[in-house]
Amino acid sequence: MGANRKKINQQLPKYVYKSKGWYVFREYLGRRGNKTIRAKDVRLCTDDQPLYVVWDRYNEINQSAARTLGWLLDEYPSSKEFKSLVPRSKLERLKWAIPAIKNCPMMKPYKTFADVPLNKIDTIVIRCYLDSLTSKNTASLHLSIISVAWKHALQYFHNVPPNPCDNITRTSSDKSERYVSDEEYYPVLAIASPRAYALMEIGYICRARMSEILKLRTDKHILEQGVLIERGKGSLDEITQWTPRLRTAVDKLLSIQPDKENPYLLQTKAGNGYRNYSSVKGIWRDLMNTAIQQGLIEEKFTHKDMKAKGVSDHKGLMHKLKTLPDLEISGHKTRSAQNHYIRTPLLNEGTR
């Protein structure tokens, strides 16, 4: 049981105290181990004000300080799960996903989803919110964020209701079936800037993700045999042999490098490597917008579609998949034995 309040504080609202000439609201947030956790003092009014003024101010503060979804998502970045994410995933959540969840319009008396108290959010509310999203990928990400944030709050704060996400049936992510035809690819390639040109061609010929292209260094990945792609997501590293088109794409980047001493192949105008994933995405976005405006394509395609096209168009793909099912031309590992025994990069031909 907690200690009884001092007589001088007994007529005051909960967690309100006199302190240094003020009435202050000092909310109790729980305990971590043997330590009591309280929020920062919020000044209500000077201690010469009548009691009703204290209560009025307390009610205003208490309503705004209620445990809402906004409060929950503000606590999320302090969770161990968030801290364990790679920088790109952290940026994706902080810059786009969390603001999108918070700013979703709601019916009165709440303006946005961030304003809704946690005790008013149940499984049906979460399900309706997810169903309002047009993309299964977005819905899956938002559900994950809310669920992890809620679990974090349950472990570190008192008076948090049960997690409504526990009973949600998770939907599978959207499976892209978009194939970029040659009739779409080459007109867009013709208007691409040198950086966008290289992103298209290296992504296509080497079947490389954008993140893998950003890592390319002239002192490590540009080899006599070809271009070494250090695959992400547990896939096998691979050397794509030189083709005239691959050589052209690399030469275009080498010719516009502002800083020849910097080893990164793809550089910003300032001569640095692209470490901000969103910046290089802007190059792709501008290319797609221009292609749409010029009537070259009817539907935008993503950089991920370049890898899919590269795998689909590779002349030896079907033969390799039939005769050597473990050595997929995409670089993916398909048997656990490969993880242990294959230690050198695959040597593959470029798509074209």
Looking at the fold, whether 186 and 163 belong to one and the same domain comes out as no
Q: Does residue 46 lie within any of the structural domains?
A: yes
Q: Which of 121, 136, 167 is the last residue of a domain?
A: 167
Q: What's the pLDDT score for residue 233?
A: 60
Same domain, 56 and 124: no
125 and 95 inside one domain:
yes
Confidence grade of residue 334 (pLDDT, cut at 50, 70, 90): very low
Q: Which long-range contacts (CB under 8 A, 24 or more apart) does 213-216 make?
A: 213/266, 214/266, 214/273, 214/274, 214/275, 214/277, 214/280, 216/264, 216/265, 216/266
Average pLDDT over residues 78-86: 89
Whether 252 maps to a domain, the answer reads yes
Confidence band for 194, pLDDT divided at 50, 70 and 90 = very high
Q: Give strand pairing partners of 241.
A: 226
Best-predicted range by mean pLDDT (271-275, 319-323, 328-332): 271-275
**Who wins on pLDDT, 320 or 242?**
242
Give the pair of three-digit tokens for residue 86.
């790679």
Quick one: 283 and 158 in the same domain? no
Q: Within this chain, do residues 193 and 276 fall inside the same structural domain, yes or no?
A: yes
Of 21, 36, 65, the one marking the end of a domain is 65
* Residues 166 and 154: beta-carbon distance below 8 Å: no
Q: Are residues 211 and 107 part of one domain?
A: no
The residue from 136, 167, 198 where one domain ends is 167
Verify that 232 and 265 share a domain, yes or no: yes
Tens-place pLDDT, residues 44-61: 899 999 988 988 888 776
**Which residues constitute the domain of residue 216?**
182-348
Q: Examine the domain organization and report whether 149 and 267 are in the same domain.
A: no
What is the pLDDT confidence band of residue 28, given thresholds at 50, 70 and 90?
confident
Give the chain's domain count.
3
Predicted local distance difference test score (pLDDT) of residue 257? 92
Residues 200 and 123 placed together within one structural domain of the fold: no
Q: What pLDDT shows up at residue 204? A: 94
Residue 118 forms part of a structural domain: yes
